[in-house]
Amino acid sequence: MDEAIFKEIASEIKGLNHQAITLISQGRLDEAEGICQRALGITSSLAYDEGAAMVLYNLANLEALRGDLLKAMAYGALCKEKHEMAQSDGEGCGKLLAGLAKTAMKKGMELEKNGALDEALAYYYASVPFSDEKYSQAMQKEIALIERAMSHG
C-alpha cells in the first residue's frame, strides 16, 4: 500500500479513536462502541495491528464501564496481542488487564460467597493470566477447590 494512503487511513483511525474517547467520557457508550467497531473493521482489513490495539483498548475500557468485566478482559487480551504483533508499547493494555484481573478476582469471590460457583470460576479463569504471581497462584488453588467441590456435589 502506498505510504501516503496508509498515513491518511491511520489518521482517520486516530480521529475515530479520539471521537470514541470523547463519547466514552460523555457516557455515550453505544455510540462509542459503533465508532470503535467501525475503526476496528478498518484496521482489520489493513492488518494495522497497532491501530487495532488502540481501538481494542478503548473497547476494553468501554466494557469495563458497562460492568462487563469478562468482555473487557477479552478486549484487553486482544489489545495486548495486537501490540505484540505490532511490536509496539503495550504497557497501557498490561496495566488495564492487571486492574481488570483484580476486579474480576473480587467479583469471583463475591459470586463464590453467594453460591454462584460456575460464574465465579469464569471470573477466576479470566483473571489468572493477567494477575501477578501471588494472586494467580491463589486463584488457581481456589479454582481447584471449587472444581473438586463441584465434582463431588
Residue pLDDT, tens place only, 17-39: 999 999 999 999 999 999 999 99
Domain finish residue from 43, 61, 88: 88
Average pLDDT over residues 48-60: 95
Are 124 and 68 in a shared domain?
no
Q: Which pLDDT score, from 0 to 100, does residue 153 have?
A: 64
Query: Which CATH number do you get for residue 68?
Result: 1.25.40.10
Average pLDDT, the chain: 93
Average pLDDT over residues 90-106: 94
Q: Which of 147, 88, 83, 95 is nearest to 117 (CA)?
A: 147
> What percent of the chain is modeled with pLDDT above 90?
84
Q: What is the rounded distance in angstroms from the CA atom of residue 90 to the CA atom of residue 83?
A: 5
Residue 6 confidence class, pLDDT cut points 50, 70, 90: confident
Are 80 and 135 in a shared domain?
no
Lowest mean pLDDT of 70-74, 117-121, 133-137, name the range.
133-137
What's the total number of domains in the chain?
Answer: 2
Helix (H, G, I), strand (E, B) or coil at 114: coil
Residue 5 confidence class, pLDDT cut points 50, 70, 90: confident
H or E stretch covering 62:
helix 49-66
Average pLDDT over residues 106-133: 94
Are 78 and 95 in a shared domain?
no
Domain finish residue from 72, 88, 104: 88
Matching residue, cell 501490540: 83
The grid coordinates listed for 120 are 465465579
Residue 101 sits in which domain range?
Answer: 90-153
